[in-house]
Chains A and B, each alone.
Chain A
Amino acid sequence: MLKHPAFVALLITSSSWVFSAELITQEQTIDFGELAANFAINSSLQVDPAGGYMTSGPMYVISPPQPARIRLSGYPANQALSITINDFFLVPIGGDRFLVKDFSLNTTTTDNNGDALILIGATLYADAGNTYPDTAYNGNMIVDISYP
């Protein structure tokens, strides 16, 4: 017979991670919208997590970009997360590809319920001299989320 309820509570708490259901749901893709550019010199389009954007060089936005949005649930409450995203390319059928890197996040910590709505911004880069024909460019952004 256990005479120390405190330890029982500790054991239950300690076991709870085995049954947690961590869930990551994509709510919105990252889309750099529709753009035009004079690709004679370097240019870029930066999308921030809040949806704002800015360009550098002769790159012009025809339809606005949007950040990615993913929802986390079932995580430990107030858990600091390690989120890693590797650089990737947006590739057309023919022509050169855009590099996407320099990611930015609105948060890396879950809330009191163990949930988080993570907004991901990034910057698209066009290199001078490359050929970017009028078409759609696609790729995949792999988001790795971990915590200790």
Chain B
Amino acid sequence: MKSLKLIPLKALFCISLVLHLAQSAHATDASITIPASVTVDATITLTPGVDMDFGQFYMTGITTAENGGVGPGGGAINGARTVNASSYIELLVNGNLVSSDGTTSKASSVIGPGVVGTFVIAGAAVSTPVRFTSPELIDGDATAGTRPFDGPTGDSITFTDLTIDTDNDGIADNDLAATGDGAVVTGTTDAAGALTVRTGGRIYSTYIGGVDNNLYEAGAYSGTYTITVSY
């Protein structure tokens, strides 16, 4: 009868050590592939609200002599925010109307309050500044772009000096100290990425004949203005 031959203690230890080293030398390597994504949506949705309305007013045009220059007393209709020879009706962003006579031309509100223009931004980044630019925006420059408001006949009223209220406080947020590229108004979207904007501006009388106080023809005058919104 054969007897069980035991492995010497020293040999057992060596086998164990070899196994252990074998385990230690084993590199466990695994990988996982995880989908990644992003969506770009740089489009800002703008929804027109209420049209800007200067109400009903009386206005006369200016004469040839006043239709020459730019700035105070120049009589120009180039968006000069300083007093000039043209009469104007100003629609403040709180809805109030202000009328101002020129050197010879006259303007006054007749019936009803003004209505500020509105439009709504939606789907923009939340709590994020957005920029409003327009050629007609008033700032510290001597001039701003103009848009004609056409009436029943060929004589137009000039719209310019666009103002924007982005925080609904009834005060224009235009920076009247900014010049050059300063014609930018900044607003901030709310926690839902939305913002309601209010607009105002001025309509100026223009040269409509060589006679002082040549009255504008009665009727509706309308036009458009453009505002670009961007991040």
Contact = CB atoms under 8 A, between A and B. Distances in A.
Contacts of B4: 1
Interface residues of A, number: 58
Interface string B164-185: 0000000000000000000000
Contact of B125 (A11, A60, A144, A145): A60
B30 A146 contact: yes
A29 B35 contact: yes
A143 B40 contact: no
Contacts of B123: 62
B50 interface: no
Interface residues of B, number: 37
B27 A146 contact: yes
Interface string B143-161: 0000000000000000000
A35 B19 contact: no
Contact of A38 (B19, B39, B193, B231): B231
A88 B6 CA distance: 59
B31 A140 contact: no
Chief secondary structure at chain B's binding surface: mixed
A45 B125 CA distance: 14
Interface string B46-66: 000000000000000000000
B28 to A, nearest CB: 6
Contacts of A26: 32, 34
Interface stretch (B9-17, B73-81, B105-113, B207-215): B9-17
A100 interface: yes
Interface string A121-144: 010100000001111111111111
Contacts of B6: 1-3
Contacts of B126: 61-62
A88 B40 contact: no
A5 B4 CA distance: 17
B35 A134 contact: no
B54 to A, nearest CB: 35
Interface of A: 1-4, 7, 10-11, 14-15, 17, 22, 24, 26, 29-38, 45, 58, 60-63, 65, 68, 70, 75, 88, 90, 92, 98, 100, 120, 122, 124, 132-148
11 contacts: A17-B26, A24-B32, A31-B36, A31-B38, A38-B231, A62-B123, A63-B39, A136-B39, A138-B36, A142-B33, A148-B24
Q: Which 5 A-B pairs have the closest CB atoms?
A: A60-B125, A32-B38, A146-B29, A36-B42, A144-B31
Given A17-B23, A143-B32, 16 more contacts: A7-B12, A14-B19, A26-B32, A30-B36, A32-B37, A35-B39, A35-B40, A36-B40, A37-B40, A58-B231, A63-B39, A122-B36, A141-B33, A143-B33, A145-B32, A148-B24
